[in-house]
Amino acid sequence: MSVILAHLSLMFVPAGVGVIGNLDVLSEDWVALLVILVVSTLLAMLAAVGTFLGVRWLTEGRQP
Protein backbone atom coordinates (compact mmCIF):
# COMPACT_ATOMS: atom_id res chain seq x y z
CA MET A 1 0.00 0.00 0.00
CA SER A 2 2.81 2.44 0.78
CA VAL A 3 4.25 1.89 -2.72
CA ILE A 4 1.00 3.12 -4.25
CA LEU A 5 0.84 6.11 -1.93
CA ALA A 6 4.47 7.01 -2.64
CA HIS A 7 3.74 7.26 -6.37
CA LEU A 8 0.25 8.76 -6.15
CA SER A 9 1.43 12.13 -7.43
CA LEU A 10 2.24 10.54 -10.81
CA MET A 11 -1.47 10.14 -11.41
CA PHE A 12 -2.12 13.88 -11.06
CA VAL A 13 0.80 15.26 -13.08
CA PRO A 14 -0.67 14.45 -16.55
CA ALA A 15 -4.00 16.01 -15.59
CA GLY A 16 -2.29 19.15 -14.31
CA VAL A 17 -0.18 19.44 -17.46
CA GLY A 18 -3.32 19.05 -19.57
CA VAL A 19 -5.09 21.83 -17.69
CA ILE A 20 -2.14 24.21 -17.96
CA GLY A 21 -1.65 23.33 -21.63
CA ASN A 22 -5.27 24.16 -22.44
CA LEU A 23 -5.84 27.30 -20.38
CA ASP A 24 -6.92 29.19 -23.50
CA VAL A 25 -9.75 26.69 -24.09
CA LEU A 26 -10.74 26.83 -20.42
CA SER A 27 -10.81 30.63 -20.39
CA GLU A 28 -13.00 30.76 -23.53
CA ASP A 29 -15.45 27.96 -22.77
CA TRP A 30 -15.59 27.86 -18.99
CA VAL A 31 -19.39 28.30 -18.83
CA ALA A 32 -20.05 25.37 -21.17
CA LEU A 33 -17.51 23.23 -19.32
CA LEU A 34 -19.11 24.08 -15.98
CA VAL A 35 -22.58 23.18 -17.26
CA ILE A 36 -21.30 19.90 -18.71
CA LEU A 37 -19.52 19.09 -15.46
CA VAL A 38 -22.64 19.71 -13.34
CA VAL A 39 -24.99 17.85 -15.70
CA SER A 40 -22.67 14.84 -16.04
CA THR A 41 -22.24 14.68 -12.26
CA LEU A 42 -26.01 14.71 -11.75
CA LEU A 43 -26.50 12.02 -14.41
CA ALA A 44 -23.85 9.83 -12.80
CA MET A 45 -25.51 10.24 -9.40
CA LEU A 46 -28.92 9.38 -10.87
CA ALA A 47 -27.46 6.32 -12.59
CA ALA A 48 -25.91 5.17 -9.30
CA VAL A 49 -29.20 5.63 -7.43
CA GLY A 50 -31.13 3.85 -10.18
CA THR A 51 -28.70 0.95 -10.11
CA PHE A 52 -28.94 0.72 -6.33
CA LEU A 53 -32.73 0.73 -6.42
CA GLY A 54 -32.81 -1.83 -9.22
CA VAL A 55 -30.49 -4.20 -7.41
CA ARG A 56 -32.43 -3.76 -4.18
CA TRP A 57 -35.68 -4.49 -6.01
CA LEU A 58 -34.20 -7.62 -7.58
CA THR A 59 -32.70 -8.95 -4.36
CA GLU A 60 -35.34 -8.06 -1.76
CA GLY A 61 -38.54 -7.91 -3.75
CA ARG A 62 -40.57 -4.81 -4.44
CA GLN A 63 -40.65 -2.56 -1.37
CA PRO A 64 -41.53 1.15 -1.43
Q: What are the structural domain ranges in the chain?
A: 2-60
User: What average pLDDT does the chain have?
Assistant: 88
Which pTM does this prediction carry? 0.62
| Per-residue confidence band for 64, with pLDDT thresholds at 50, 70 and 90 | low
Phi-psi region of 61 (alpha: psi -120 to 50; beta: other; left: phi over 0): left
Q: Is the pLDDT of residue 31 over 80?
A: yes
Given a cut of 70, is residue 62 above it in pLDDT? no
pLDDT for residue 2: 80
Average pLDDT over residues 42-51: 98
Mean pLDDT, range 17-42, rounded to an integer: 91
Let me know: does 26 contact 33? Beta carbons within 8 Å.
yes
